[in-house]
A and B are shown apart, each in its own frame.
Chain A
Amino acid sequence: MSGDLKQAFRLSLPVLGAFWFLGISYGMLASSMGYSIWIPLSMAITVFSGSVEFIALTMLVGAFNPVAALTMALMVGARHIFYGISMLDKWRNAGWKKPFLIFWMCDESFAINYSQGGSFRQQLTLSFLNYSYWVTGGIMGYFLGECISDDMMHYLKGLDFVVVAMFVSIFMDDFLRNKGRHGSAWLGVLASAVCLVAFGPAQFIVPTMLVILTVLYFKYRRQDL
């Protein structure tokens, strides 16, 4: 019982570092832009997607364009569709925990839960911990923004790399474990690198997903015949 919770907490520690760092930056940005606490807080609670929230802060400043905001949210959020497809089987019997697992599914929680597995209880705890780190990080950043000196920020410089280190390690872990799927792994790296150069950081996710789907479809057809 408590082993599950301990394991979930242990796995969530890198995310704690990342989300507090990013959450604090997010809260500081929101407060420096003059938002009331309710706007960044309600976004952190309901949207729970760092990249969307950062863009949203800058979008809400000018004349609000709901269509642009919706399109942005759909395009940046589109990657969750791939997470969902990957989790279809694993979460089939999760029962009442399933909607919560889906609601709290972010890049980090998906990557850890998919690669590390564990009981539904453990996965749910991990997802919830990650979610709470993000929300509390945002609140801390909003209120503490002015107290955190530049000196302290200097010593924390580079901490955001924890996200990169985590995805690289999960990628490597999957790469070493699933020898039969190296093609897929390289496809993911190459397709996104090419689309990033071609479409730029704001718009490359959807083209990347289409390229991956197309290539995998051809692979599927060839295997079928």
Chain B
Amino acid sequence: MAVAVMATRFISFFVFPSEKSMPPFVRFLSRYLPSAVFGMLVVYCLKDVDFMGDKHGVPELIGVAFCVLVHLLMKNIMVTIAGGTLFYMLLVQCVF
């Protein structure tokens, strides 16, 4: 398992070791992929939220909306992370 996970980390660097060995499409990917990956990560870290359960994922959705709002207002990653986490902790400990 360790080898398998490690292989997924190293493979891209082995297949395309130098600039010349990168096909144009991979070059294009390295520019456009990250934005899509960040979107994927947001969904990925929410994958175990039970939207059919009795809370329907409401605390998580409010928490995410709060983070988006704080980020739009403050544009500071650290503020968003700290504020969003504290807000969510209050939410699940005191409200829900």
Chain A binding surface SS class: helix
Interface residues of B in 1-59 (CB under 8 A from A): 1-2, 4-13, 16, 18-19, 22, 24-26, 28-48
Chain B residue contacts of A48, Cβ below 8 A? 5
Query: What is the size category of the interface that chain B forms with chain A?
Result: 35 or more
A163 to B42, CA, bound (A): 9
Output the residue of A10, A83, A103 with the most chain B CB within 10 A.
A83
Say yes or no: B36 contacts A185, CB within 8 Å.
Answer: yes
Residue of B nearest to A202 (CB): B47
Using CB atoms, name the residue of chain A closest to B19.
Answer: A92
Let me know if A86 and B37 touch, CB within 8 A.
yes
By size class, the interface of chain A is 35 or more
Are A70 and B1 closer than 8 Å at their CB atoms? yes
Contact B67 A169 (CB under 8 A): yes
Alpha-carbon separation in the docked complex, A99 to B57 (Å):
39
User: Which of A79, A173, A217 is close to B40, meaning CB atoms less than 8 Å apart?
Assistant: A79
CB of A5 within 8 A of chain B?
no
Which of B2, B46, B75 contacts A43 (CB under 8 A)? B2
B71 near A169 with CB under 8 A, answer yes
Chain A 142-187 interface residues, beta-carbon cutoff 8 Å to B: 154-159, 161-176, 178, 181-182, 184-187
Task: Tell me, rounded to whole Å, the shortest Cβ–Cβ distance linking A210 to chain B.
Answer: 12
For B43, the chain A residues whose CB sits under 8 A away are: 188-189, 192-193, 196
In the docked arrangement, what's the CA distance between A69 and B1, Å? 7
Q: Which of A17, A72, A157, A167 contacts B38 (CB 8 A)?
A: A167
